[in-house]
A and B are shown apart, each in its own frame.
Chain A
């Protein structure tokens, strides 16, 4: 049962707005990093979308997944909507799994993030290289897709830390403790 005073509601509203502004800044920063330079880069928007998904409602997760997916499509020059569909499904599924089965622990996030990033890289390789029968296409998987996946998993740790800090200060608590209720009244 949620018990909140009007003042707390106002604070909650401000914190939520501020939290989403920070989320948006992180998303845009990740997109900017992905479009800079010519070296191999992690698909930062995958762990970012997952970090949003594990802390939010399924529909919000799906919408934020779609937004991040569209940005990946632009950064990686993929068919507009391809990664949006993938990330919508991944984020909705992750949000649902967290709602029903998993606890918000780092290890759970890490393996889910590794699995999702791998699926994203693997499907990208299948649809954009292997399917078109490029000669020696498997080299792309070994030399690029797997490296990108590894970089993504490593970067997901940093992204998790950033989101943990944001959520620690700005995420509303689901329930107030008895002490908090007594103190508020």
Chain B
């Protein structure tokens, strides 16, 4: 053993480890952009990951059907009931629609500039291995105009934010993560503001948390929570999720709501990246590191 520590190969090994540490430190300074080595590996392995993820997702769906057939049956019955209720609402909706057309003409005048610019639809390449907060990788990167800290959405609602971009792929941090804070407001009251921020416990149930609510809030169960747009990171009026539970924080000073995201974050197939929107805050990173 002593001979080994005095040998040349030990010195070479130390130099190699120092080189790797150098790479690691350099990676820290990249601020959201992948190293060219990682970018190359991502590009080369992209088709394999795409195919294997498709197979895996299909397999998960089949297993899910087998395991949860009872709950799906109950859910199906519940949905049938809801459909009949919705059919009744459609009749009311048609009346409202005619009224809305008039309002729309007025609104069109105000909508001179569309406030959001979307990327092309991005396929989900795969979820980050063993991530408790369901981060995932998409098949569009900087070549599609995607930059770090761009919001990511589906037709159902906000999903998360881009945290790392390489040329052909990007990594998305979801709203389940404690590292992502979204300024939000209740759509029905339009007055109860809070911060949507994940926790370890809520992430286990695929839910997130609306914190810093005033104790006298008017939020009710099943209310829709939307983005307030005040942070400049997310555009205004995008759905986040519905309220599942309301409670008071352990400090007794503020309230919180458990939010079920509108989009099913554990089974995403494709998403849109919002590359620009009105009220967007230009981050230091973006201005400094735009390739």
Contacts and interface: CB of A to CB of B under 8 A. Distances in A.
Given A35-B49, A41-B130, A70 B164 contact: no
B4 A36 contact: no
B175 to A, nearest CB: 15
Given A85-B20, A139-B200, A59 B12 contact: yes
A70 B42 CA distance: 11
SS of A interface (majority): helix
Given A70-B38, A81-B24, A76 B13 contact: no
Contact of A134 (B9, B38, B178): B178
A58 interface: yes
Interface string A55-96: 000110011001000110111110111101100110010001
Contacts of A35: 45, 49, 52-53, 125-126, 129, 137
B53 A36 contact: yes
Interface stretch (B54-62, B99-107, B230-238): B54-62
A140 B59 CA distance: 25
Contacts of B1: 96, 100
Interface stretch (B27-35, B89-97, B182-190, B273-281): B27-35
Contact of A74 (B21, B38, B53, B179): B38
Interface in B5-46: 9, 12-13, 16-17, 20-21, 23-24, 27-28, 34-35, 37-38, 41-42, 45
B154 to A, nearest CB: 16
B131 interface: yes
Interface size class of B (residues with CB under 8 A): 35 or more
Contact of B49 (A36, A39, A140): A36
Interface string A24-43: 00001001111111111101
SS of B interface (majority): helix
B79 interface: no
Most buried by B among A43, A71, A136, A137: A136
B204 interface: yes
Contacts of B56: 36-37
Nearest to A63: B16
Given A58-B13, A84-B23, 17 more contacts: A36-B52, A38-B267, A70-B38, A74-B45, A75-B129, A77-B128, A77-B137, A80-B23, A80-B37, A81-B21, A85-B21, A85-B24, A88-B17, A132-B179, A136-B200, A139-B201, A144-B130
20 contacts: A32-B49, A35-B45, A36-B52, A36-B56, A37-B53, A37-B56, A37-B59, A59-B9, A59-B12, A70-B38, A74-B41, A77-B128, A80-B35, A81-B23, A81-B24, A82-B24, A84-B24, A88-B16, A96-B4, A148-B130
